[in-house]
Amino acid sequence: MTQTTPQKRRCERNRKRSKRRAIFCPIHRCHLDSVSQKYRLFADRPGQLMERGVKQKYALMLIASKTTVAIEGEWLEAFWCSECQETQWYHVAKTGDRTYQVSLAPDVLWQQVTGVIDPQGNPSVGEFTRRQSRRIGFHGVKDFGAI
């Protein structure tokens, strides 16, 4: 028996819990599970703001006054896809109340994120120091046998 009235079932009407984010794999269209925190994007050049619909004059004023501007509704996040059986980093853009646009995160966007480690490392750190820091049993100066 189907109802023709627009009434919802009581359990659906009284549900106060937030629903799962509707973020789907762009390849398989299956639900993606988050496995990391959100890394917000920041703009440090007027062109980055103009790509997102900000007028040139306003973008120049913002960058001149604040040096970096947080981009609302966009972030990088790692998701697990049950079809691919792997974790991928995605650029997520919120397009509506509960709708998102998801695409694989290009390398260019990693330069606009704070709180992540640069995969190339700090260029001012020498190769020896970089190798020593990656050692599992690293004990600092004691490893050199001088003490």
* Rounded-to-integer distance, Cα 32 and Cα 90, Å: 10
Could you report the per-residue pLDDT of 36-91, keeping only the tens digit for each? 999 999 998 999 999 999 999 999 999 999 988 999 999 999 999 999 899 999 99
The answer to whether 86 and 75 are in contact (CB under 8 A) is: no
Q: Is 55 left (phi over 0), alpha (psi -120 to 50) or beta?
A: beta
Q: What is the pLDDT of residue 37?
A: 92
Q: Of the candidates 95, 102, 116, which has an alpha carbon nearest to the alpha carbon of residue 40?
A: 116
CA atoms within a 13 Å half-sphere pointing along the CA-CB vector of 28: 10
Question: Tokens 């020896």 appear where?
Answer: 128
Q: What is the pLDDT of residue 112?
A: 86
pLDDT at 21 over 70: yes
Domain boundaries of the chain, sorted by first residue? 20-140
Could you report the per-residue pLDDT of 85-105, keeping only the tens digit for each? 999 999 999 998 888 999 999
CA atoms within a 13 Å half-sphere pointing along the CA-CB vector of 69: 22
Q: Quote the pTM value.
A: 0.68
